[in-house]
Amino acid sequence: ILNVEQSPQSLHVQEGDSTNFTCSFPSSNFYALHWYRWETAKSPEALFVMTLNGDEKKKGRISATLNTKEGYSYLYIKGSQPEDSATYLCAFRDNYGQNFVFGPGTRLSVLP
Amino acid sequence: KAGVTQTPRYLIKTRGQQVTLSCSPISGHRSVSWYQQTPGQGLQFLFEYFSETQRNKGNFPGRFSGRQFSNSRSEMNVSTLELGDSALYLCASRAGGGDGNEQFFGPGTRLTVL
Protein backbone atom coordinates (compact mmCIF):
# COMPACT_ATOMS: atom_id res chain seq x y z
CA ILE A 1 0.00 0.00 0.00
CA LEU A 2 1.49 3.32 -1.06
CA ASN A 3 1.78 5.96 1.62
CA VAL A 4 1.45 9.65 0.87
CA GLU A 5 1.88 11.95 3.84
CA GLN A 6 1.35 15.64 4.27
CA SER A 7 2.51 17.96 6.99
CA PRO A 8 1.44 19.81 8.88
CA GLN A 9 -2.09 18.50 9.27
CA SER A 10 -3.37 22.03 9.84
CA LEU A 11 -1.96 25.50 9.91
CA HIS A 12 -3.16 28.89 11.08
CA VAL A 13 -1.36 31.95 9.74
CA GLN A 14 -1.98 35.67 9.73
CA GLU A 15 -2.86 37.52 6.54
CA GLY A 16 0.36 38.51 4.80
CA ASP A 17 2.43 35.63 6.20
CA SER A 18 4.16 33.28 3.82
CA THR A 19 3.80 29.59 4.46
CA ASN A 20 4.73 26.21 3.10
CA PHE A 21 3.62 22.60 3.41
CA THR A 22 5.20 19.28 2.61
CA CYS A 23 4.03 16.24 0.69
CA SER A 24 6.03 13.01 1.08
CA PHE A 25 5.61 10.13 -1.34
CA PRO A 26 7.42 6.96 -2.43
CA SER A 27 10.66 7.76 -4.24
CA SER A 28 10.41 4.72 -6.51
CA ASN A 29 8.22 4.23 -9.56
CA PHE A 30 7.36 7.92 -9.66
CA TYR A 31 5.19 9.18 -12.51
CA ALA A 32 3.52 12.40 -11.38
CA LEU A 33 2.65 14.49 -8.36
CA HIS A 34 -0.50 16.60 -8.30
CA TRP A 35 -1.44 19.47 -6.00
CA TYR A 36 -5.06 20.51 -5.41
CA ARG A 37 -6.80 23.19 -3.40
CA TRP A 38 -10.14 22.24 -1.88
CA GLU A 39 -12.25 24.99 -0.39
CA THR A 40 -15.17 24.11 1.82
CA ALA A 41 -18.41 23.52 -0.12
CA LYS A 42 -16.56 23.65 -3.43
CA SER A 43 -14.90 21.12 -5.73
CA PRO A 44 -11.16 20.43 -5.65
CA GLU A 45 -9.23 22.73 -7.93
CA ALA A 46 -6.07 21.58 -9.67
CA LEU A 47 -3.03 23.69 -8.86
CA PHE A 48 -0.09 21.85 -10.39
CA VAL A 49 0.86 18.62 -12.08
CA MET A 50 4.56 17.93 -11.67
CA THR A 51 6.43 15.18 -13.47
CA LEU A 52 10.15 15.98 -13.55
CA ASN A 53 12.63 15.95 -10.71
CA GLY A 54 13.59 19.52 -9.92
CA ASP A 55 10.34 20.91 -11.37
CA GLU A 56 9.31 24.28 -10.02
CA LYS A 57 5.88 25.60 -10.90
CA LYS A 58 4.18 28.86 -10.05
CA LYS A 59 0.65 30.19 -10.21
CA GLY A 60 0.29 33.69 -8.82
CA ARG A 61 1.41 33.66 -5.19
CA ILE A 62 1.53 29.87 -5.05
CA SER A 63 4.51 27.81 -6.12
CA ALA A 64 5.65 24.23 -5.79
CA THR A 65 8.88 22.28 -6.03
CA LEU A 66 9.49 18.60 -6.62
CA ASN A 67 12.23 16.21 -5.53
CA THR A 68 11.47 12.75 -6.87
CA LYS A 69 14.77 11.22 -5.71
CA GLU A 70 14.00 11.85 -2.06
CA GLY A 71 10.22 11.73 -2.45
CA TYR A 72 8.94 15.13 -1.41
CA SER A 73 7.26 18.21 -2.78
CA TYR A 74 6.83 21.61 -1.17
CA LEU A 75 3.96 24.00 -1.74
CA TYR A 76 4.62 27.65 -0.94
CA ILE A 77 2.13 30.46 -0.52
CA LYS A 78 3.56 33.95 -0.46
CA GLY A 79 1.66 36.68 1.36
CA SER A 80 -1.29 34.52 2.42
CA GLN A 81 -4.77 35.97 2.02
CA PRO A 82 -8.01 34.87 3.71
CA GLU A 83 -9.21 33.47 0.37
CA ASP A 84 -6.27 31.03 0.47
CA SER A 85 -8.00 29.25 3.34
CA ALA A 86 -8.60 25.72 2.11
CA THR A 87 -7.35 22.16 2.34
CA TYR A 88 -4.34 21.54 0.14
CA LEU A 89 -4.03 17.99 -1.17
CA CYS A 90 -1.23 16.27 -2.97
CA ALA A 91 -1.66 13.07 -4.98
CA PHE A 92 0.97 10.63 -6.19
CA ARG A 93 0.69 8.59 -9.37
CA ASP A 94 3.11 5.74 -9.96
CA ASN A 95 4.39 4.65 -13.31
CA TYR A 96 2.31 1.52 -13.33
CA GLY A 97 -0.68 3.79 -13.63
CA GLN A 98 -2.74 1.77 -11.21
CA ASN A 99 -2.04 3.82 -8.15
CA PHE A 100 -3.20 7.39 -7.69
CA VAL A 101 -2.99 8.05 -3.98
CA PHE A 102 -4.01 11.22 -2.20
CA GLY A 103 -2.43 12.53 0.95
CA PRO A 104 -4.64 13.46 3.91
CA GLY A 105 -4.27 17.17 3.18
CA THR A 106 -3.07 20.26 5.00
CA ARG A 107 -5.86 22.51 6.23
CA LEU A 108 -4.81 26.15 6.00
CA SER A 109 -6.64 28.95 7.80
CA VAL A 110 -5.58 32.50 7.05
CA LEU A 111 -6.74 34.93 9.69
CA PRO A 112 -7.45 38.53 8.63
CA LYS B 1 -17.74 26.27 -21.46
CA ALA B 2 -19.89 24.33 -19.02
CA GLY B 3 -18.07 22.60 -16.19
CA VAL B 4 -18.27 19.01 -15.03
CA THR B 5 -21.77 18.10 -13.93
CA GLN B 6 -22.86 15.28 -11.70
CA THR B 7 -26.32 13.91 -11.03
CA PRO B 8 -27.93 13.48 -8.68
CA ARG B 9 -26.37 15.81 -6.15
CA TYR B 10 -27.83 13.98 -3.16
CA LEU B 11 -29.06 10.46 -2.76
CA ILE B 12 -30.35 8.33 0.09
CA LYS B 13 -30.40 4.56 -0.24
CA THR B 14 -30.71 1.60 2.09
CA ARG B 15 -28.31 -1.26 2.60
CA GLY B 16 -28.44 -3.89 -0.10
CA GLN B 17 -29.72 -1.54 -2.78
CA GLN B 18 -27.74 -0.51 -5.80
CA VAL B 19 -27.09 3.00 -7.10
CA THR B 20 -25.97 4.61 -10.33
CA LEU B 21 -24.29 8.00 -10.41
CA SER B 22 -23.76 10.04 -13.54
CA CYS B 23 -21.01 12.40 -14.65
CA SER B 24 -20.92 14.62 -17.71
CA PRO B 25 -17.42 15.89 -18.46
CA ILE B 26 -16.42 19.20 -19.92
CA SER B 27 -17.12 19.23 -23.64
CA GLY B 28 -14.15 17.78 -25.51
CA HIS B 29 -12.71 15.99 -22.49
CA ARG B 30 -12.24 12.28 -23.04
CA SER B 31 -11.00 11.17 -19.65
CA VAL B 32 -13.26 10.78 -16.62
CA SER B 33 -12.08 9.70 -13.19
CA TRP B 34 -14.13 8.85 -10.12
CA TYR B 35 -13.19 9.43 -6.47
CA GLN B 36 -14.69 8.66 -3.08
CA GLN B 37 -14.34 11.06 -0.18
CA THR B 38 -15.03 9.84 3.36
CA PRO B 39 -14.05 11.46 6.65
CA GLY B 40 -12.06 8.42 7.69
CA GLN B 41 -10.26 7.56 4.48
CA GLY B 42 -9.93 10.92 2.77
CA LEU B 43 -10.06 11.15 -0.99
CA GLN B 44 -9.57 7.84 -2.76
CA PHE B 45 -9.28 7.05 -6.45
CA LEU B 46 -11.88 4.65 -7.79
CA PHE B 47 -11.22 4.37 -11.52
CA GLU B 48 -10.49 6.26 -14.70
CA TYR B 49 -12.06 5.91 -18.12
CA PHE B 50 -10.64 7.15 -21.38
CA SER B 51 -12.37 6.70 -24.72
CA GLU B 52 -14.83 4.21 -23.24
CA THR B 53 -12.07 2.02 -21.77
CA GLN B 54 -11.15 1.67 -18.13
CA ARG B 55 -7.50 2.70 -17.89
CA ASN B 56 -6.78 2.59 -14.20
CA LYS B 57 -8.54 1.19 -11.16
CA GLY B 58 -8.09 1.89 -7.49
CA ASN B 59 -8.32 -0.59 -4.68
CA PHE B 60 -12.08 -1.00 -4.36
CA PRO B 61 -14.20 -4.16 -4.35
CA GLY B 62 -15.98 -5.37 -7.45
CA ARG B 63 -19.25 -3.89 -6.18
CA PHE B 64 -17.93 -0.62 -7.58
CA SER B 65 -18.04 -0.49 -11.34
CA GLY B 66 -18.26 2.09 -14.04
CA ARG B 67 -18.55 2.71 -17.71
CA GLN B 68 -18.08 5.46 -20.21
CA PHE B 69 -20.21 6.18 -23.23
CA SER B 70 -19.18 7.34 -26.69
CA ASN B 71 -20.03 10.94 -25.75
CA SER B 72 -17.58 10.63 -22.81
CA ARG B 73 -20.35 10.74 -20.21
CA SER B 74 -19.65 8.26 -17.46
CA GLU B 75 -21.68 6.34 -14.93
CA MET B 76 -20.59 4.71 -11.72
CA ASN B 77 -22.54 1.87 -10.18
CA VAL B 78 -22.36 0.51 -6.66
CA SER B 79 -24.22 -2.72 -6.00
CA THR B 80 -25.26 -4.22 -2.68
CA LEU B 81 -24.74 -0.98 -0.80
CA GLU B 82 -23.11 -1.03 2.62
CA LEU B 83 -23.23 1.61 5.34
CA GLY B 84 -19.56 2.35 4.67
CA ASP B 85 -20.36 3.40 1.12
CA SER B 86 -21.84 6.63 2.47
CA ALA B 87 -19.56 9.25 1.01
CA LEU B 88 -19.13 12.12 -1.38
CA TYR B 89 -18.46 10.78 -4.87
CA LEU B 90 -16.56 13.12 -7.14
CA CYS B 91 -15.82 12.82 -10.80
CA ALA B 92 -13.21 14.75 -12.70
CA SER B 93 -12.53 15.16 -16.37
CA ARG B 94 -9.47 16.09 -18.37
CA ALA B 95 -8.79 16.65 -21.99
CA GLY B 96 -6.40 13.83 -22.83
CA GLY B 97 -5.02 10.67 -21.37
CA GLY B 98 -1.63 12.07 -20.48
CA ASP B 99 -1.02 12.88 -16.87
CA GLY B 100 0.12 16.39 -17.66
CA ASN B 101 -3.45 17.45 -18.24
CA GLU B 102 -5.23 19.32 -15.49
CA GLN B 103 -8.27 17.69 -13.94
CA PHE B 104 -11.52 19.55 -13.43
CA PHE B 105 -13.82 18.28 -10.70
CA GLY B 106 -17.57 18.23 -10.56
CA PRO B 107 -19.61 19.24 -7.51
CA GLY B 108 -20.02 15.66 -6.32
CA THR B 109 -22.87 13.36 -5.37
CA ARG B 110 -23.46 12.93 -1.65
CA LEU B 111 -24.63 9.35 -1.06
CA THR B 112 -26.11 8.34 2.27
CA VAL B 113 -26.72 4.65 2.94
CA LEU B 114 -29.13 3.89 5.77
CB within 8 Å of chain A, chain B residues 30-89:
33, 42-45, 48, 55-59
The type of residue at B102 is E
The type of residue at A79 is G
pLDDT in tens, chain A (112 residues): 678 999 999 999 999 999 999 999 998 889 899 999 999 889 999 999 999 999 999 999 999 999 999 999 999 999 999 999 999 999 998 887 667 899 999 999 999 9
| Contact criterion met (CB below 8 Å) for A108 and A80 | yes
Q: Give the strand pairing for B42-50 and B53-57.
A: antiparallel
Tell me which chain A residue has its CA closest to the CA of residue B4. A43
Q: What is the pLDDT of residue B95?
A: 85
Does any CB of chain A come closer than 8 Å to the CB of residue B90? yes
Using one digit for the tens of pLDDT, what is the confidence trace for B15-69?
999 999 999 999 999 999 999 999 888 899 999 999 999 988 888 999 999 999 9
